[in-house]
A and B are shown apart, each in its own frame.
Chain A
């Protein structure tokens, strides 16, 4: 570390800590709708969901759009904190109205909001919040175990306690500068009403879930009906606490009907005939540009699209298996060769953008990334020539063959780069598997090369993809590189966001340009159709689960 940085570090740290400790974030619910429209109250929105949620609807043990599309309205869009409605990268208050971080970043004290009720009329208390945090870390009753949650936020917690009557103090196991970023994840919800859960747990039902207690919850809506495979109905929770910028209570809608529609073509047909106000979210359920054009032709001016990024495709080679990709020259050649812009056209019809590991709009990536080899459109021909040269230097001028592991549902993107790589002489044999096989083999590292979606709205989350093998059984990279491991360790000691950004950019460059462990391809934009009269959706630039509570949505008809 240079002398100058040594001198500046304590000052920067103090400034950062002061900023964290003193922040009083803006209210989380701005006025809904754009263009100065006054929200109208009432009405039932009809929005497709692609499948029934998993059995007990417990966001701690299962995650996926089929759950969150419906359950976020019931459980709410956060916990103590949430992603801001108008900025997915920023932390906003939710059930805590403010917080303070300890100077060591190992304790966080949340001042809990008053006037919050479970939808059965029971007041929500700081004890409820502590109870929830305790349960997320697992519990044991007799010989029965309730396992801990798997999410990155709550697993950092060592102890939670109520202080001063209305505050919750959370003590972490270690210093975690990104704790609030971790907790703001939309899918970490307080979904365990103590007054209903505890009696069941004491009776031995240690795995009790929200569905076992009638979905008593804190979100803007209540579950009214669930006809499996057919329809899920939510209706307004009259006890919901949140208000809009004018002080009017949320939600605006009387309710939401979610017809279960498992096929995109069916959704498009139902949308066109006016039976749906909005499509389903989730991979494979976004509209292609050609489908959008067709809809716009038949419903001119009547359709809007939520364009949600965050499906950032990455290719990586298994460094724990022998093969030509162990050679840095080969990895670099593979990285330089792919024509990402051609992939954007071939796979998603141009409805996409290039990126590094994170979304460029998040502010985390190196601003110069577009000039890097393999990203720079102006050096495309030179990159390809370099790729051929590197293959020759590695003794593989005529190419090589390898298996490439791909989910069957991702065949379109895999088929594209399979074709593109043939120009380099690399013959990829696509190993197409179903989701269950993919998960199993992925965890065992039983593959040569793989493609995966990497999503992160803050850099520490990337450890699950880039961290040391053993910690990242479901991650993108398979490696035992101590340097990459140590980079992630430095996040824990980072003093403020600038330091975190610096570390992230080192990781980014190391993985994508120095070692060429992975190839960032492009971010597939998920285009979800909504009727123009559906206002106040505020979908984030990325993160498919953002603002899925529909509290600010209203119908202008």
Chain B
């Protein structure tokens, strides 16, 4: 059976126009994957909105102004106001911070823990591998949202507990992927060479196995960022996400669905639009990254 080998480090990180500068690579990426680039632009906008929320948002997102409650979208309030008279646009902009924070933190924790556990499991094998994989089986037996819900209930709703809970649901998937990559990488000549020159297990794992197992994990991570943001919105919709008054898109949608769907649809529509836009953008970018990083798809 033909065996596909994972490319060496240099190939993994420079899949685009080799030798070109960063802008050249970006331009090359845009030409080859315009939809992916569009997704990247949306996400860049999200990041900028999150960073410069204080400048972009015209109003304080949590300050109540009851006499201005339920104003329709217009010139004074771009996307209208909620029942407390808070500006929906400002809350969406600040909500981007929450979404991005939870997405990045959960993916970062999940990726670091998952890669280390998965790679060590694949590299070490034996009883340790067996044990880790059965635990992973157990964790994957839970629907991710239910598992996150249980963890948040146990820890109490807060931005950090939501991020941690989502990271836990992500870890088993990364472990599986990192282990599979590690198993494949361990068969490579350069690993044998490292062993032959007396490299220790820890060094071989950290310097050779882990870096060469990262490419598919990156693709998974990109996709999971969107999933994590949706999961946070789902938890907030169930009332278990970020506690008020911090704005979160899921919480805002839940608020709107509490009897205002018809009378004030903007309360639900605009946070929903932001959420679906970002998830769609993550999907586009993730697909494009997979295409350029996966050697089997490269060049298509």
Where the two chains meet, the residues of A that have a C-beta atom closer than 8 Å to any C-beta of B are 264-265, 287-288, 290-291, 293-294, 342, 345-347, 349, 408-409, 411-412, 414-416, 418-420, 422, 430, 432, 434
**7 A–B pairs (Cβ distance < 8 Å), ordered by A:** A264-B259, A294-B262, A347-B83, A349-B70, A349-B83, A415-B245, A432-B239
* Residue B116 lies at the interface, judged by CB distance under 8 Å to chain A: no
B64: A residues at CB distance < 8 A: 342, 346, 416, 419-420
B113 at interface, CB cutoff 8 A: no
Q: How far is the CB of B181 from chain A (nearest CB, A)?
A: 41
Cross-chain contact B244 with A265 (CB below 8 angstroms): no
Q: Is the CB of B258 within 8 A of A412?
A: yes
Q: Is the CB of A290 within 8 A of B263?
A: yes
| Chain B residue nearest in CB terms to A342 | B66
Find residues 143-192 in chain B having any chain A CB closer than 8 Å to their own CB.
Answer: 153, 157
Query: Is there contact, CB below 8 Å, between B259 and A288?
Result: yes
Partner of B84, one of A294, A415, A430, A432: A415
| Docked-complex contact A346 and B259, CB < 8 angstroms | no
A419 touches which of B67, B69, B84 (Cβ 8 Å): B84
Q: What 0/1 readout, one digit per residue, does chain B (238-259) give for beta carbons within 8 Å of chain A?
A: 0110011100000000010111
Judge whether A416 and B84 touch: CB under 8 Å.
Answer: yes
Most chain A CB within a 10 A radius of its CB, from B239, B244, B257: B244
| Complexed CA–CA distance, A354 and B85 (Å) | 21
Q: A419-B64, A430-B244 are in contact. Are A265 and B84 (CB under 8 A)?
A: no
Contact check, B84 vs A290: say whether CB atoms are below 8 A apart: no
Asked whether B264 lies within 8 Å of A290 as measured between CB atoms, the reply is: yes
Known A-B contacts A294-B262, A412-B258; the reply to A432 vs B243 at CB < 8 A is yes
Residues of A within 8 A of B85 (CB): 346
Chain B facing A: main interface SS: loop
Complex CA gap A416/B86 in Å reads 11
Interface set of B (CB-CB < 8 Å, partner A): 62-64, 66-67, 69-70, 83-85, 153, 157, 239-240, 243-245, 255, 257-264
A346, B82: Cα distance in complex, Å: 9
Whether the pair B259, A430 counts as a contact (CB closer than 8 A) is: no
Contacts of A412 in B (CB 8 A): 83, 255, 258
Which residues of A lie under 8 Å from residue B262 when comparing CB positions? 290-291, 294
CB distance from B161 to the nearest CB of A (A): 13
What B residues does A345 contact at CB under 8 A? 66-67, 69
Whether A265 contacts B153 by the Cβ 8 Å rule is: no
- Top 10 nearest A-B pairs by Cβ distance? A290-B263, A419-B64, A415-B244, A342-B66, A288-B259, A408-B239, A346-B66, A294-B262, A346-B84, A345-B66
* Minimum Cβ distance to chain B for residue A36 (Å): 36
Closest to B157 in A: A432
Name the prevailing secondary structure of the A interface residues.
helix
Contact A411 B244, beta carbon cutoff 8 Å: yes
CB distance from A279 to the nearest CB of B (A): 12
Instruction: For the complex, give the distance between the alpha carbons of A422 and B65 in Å.
Output: 13
* Residue among B70, B243, B258 with max Cβ neighbours from chain A (10 Å): B243
- Residues on the A chain within 8 Å of B84, using CB: 346, 415-416, 419
CB of B259 within 8 A of CB of A419, answer no
Closest A residue to B84 using CB positions:
A346
Q: Can you name 18 extra interface pairs (CB under 8 A) apart from A412-B255, A430-B244?
A: A264-B259, A265-B257, A265-B259, A290-B262, A290-B263, A293-B263, A294-B263, A346-B64, A346-B69, A346-B85, A349-B69, A408-B240, A412-B83, A416-B64, A419-B62, A419-B84, A422-B62, A432-B239
Q: Across the interface, which residues of B come within 8 angstroms of A434, CB to CB?
A: 153
CA distance A293 to B260 in the complex (A): 11
Provide the bound-state CA to CA distance between A345 and B124, in Å: 64
The interface residues of chain B lying within 8 Å CB-to-CB of A264 are 259
User: B83 — nearest CB in chain A belongs to which residue?
Assistant: A346
Instruction: Across the interface, name the chain B residue whose C-beta is closest to A434.
Output: B153
CB contact between A288 and one of B157, B245, B257, B263 (< 8 Å): that residue: B263
Q: Report if A291-B62 is in contact (Cβ < 8 Å); known contacts: A347-B83, A418-B244, A419-B245.
A: no
Given the complex, which residues of B lie within 8 Å of A288, measured CB to CB? 259-260, 263
Min CB distance A526 to B, Å, is 13
Question: Which A residues touch B245, using CB under 8 A?
Answer: 415, 418-419
Most chain-B Cβ atoms within 10 A of its Cβ — which of A346, A420, A422?
A346
The contact of A411 among B62, B66, B69, B239, by CB within 8 Å, is: B239
Q: How far is the CA of A434 from the CA of B157 in the complex (A)?
A: 11
By a CB distance below 8 angstroms, the chain B residues around A414 are 244
Chain A residues with CB under 8 A of B153: 434
Q: State the Cβ distance, B66 to closest chain A Cβ, in Å.
A: 5
Which residues from B are CB-within-8-Å of A419?
A: 62-64, 84, 245
- A291/B263 in contact, CB under 8 A: yes
By a CB distance below 8 angstroms, the chain A residues around B63 are: 419, 422
Distance of A418 Cα from B243 Cα, bound (Å): 12
CA distance A422 to B264 in the complex (A): 26
A349 CA to B67 CA, complexed, in Å: 11
| Min CB gap B150→A, angstroms | 12
One of B83, B243, B259 near A291 (C-beta < 8 A): B259
Shortest Cβ gap from B246 to chain A (Å): 10
Distance between A87 CB and nearest chain B CB, rounded to angstroms = 31
- Which residue in chain B gives the minimum CB-CB distance to A265? B261
A430 touches B70 (CB 8 A): no
Q: Which residues of B contact A408 (CB under 8 A)?
A: 239-240
A6 to B84, CA, bound (A): 54
Instruction: Report Cα–Cα, A294/B70, bound state, in Å.
Output: 15
Closest to B244 in A: A415
Residues of B within 8 A of A409 (CB): 239
Q: Smallest distance from the beta carbon of B158 to chain A beta carbons, Å?
A: 10
Q: How far is it, in angstroms, between the C-alpha of A185 and the C-alpha of B107 when the chains are bound?
A: 56
For residue A258, give the distance in angstroms from its CB to the closest CB of chain B. Answer: 22
Residue of B nearest to A344 (CB): B66
List residues of chain B with CB within 8 A of the CB of A290.
70, 259-260, 262-264
Tell me which residues across on chain A come within 8 A of B66, comparing CB atoms.
Answer: 342, 345-346
Contacts of A430 in B (CB 8 A): 243-244
Q: How far is the CB of B101 from chain A (nearest CB, A)?
A: 19
The answer for the CA separation of A468 and B239 in the assembled complex, in Å, is 34
Taking the nearest CB of chain A, how far is it from the CB of B277, in angstroms? 25
Tell me the nearest residue of chain A to B262, going by C-beta.
A294
Q: Which residues of B contact A422 (CB under 8 A)?
A: 62-63
Please name the residue on chain B nearest to A272 by beta carbon: B262
A411 to B84, CA, bound (A): 13
Closest-CB distance, A344 to chain B (whole angstroms): 9
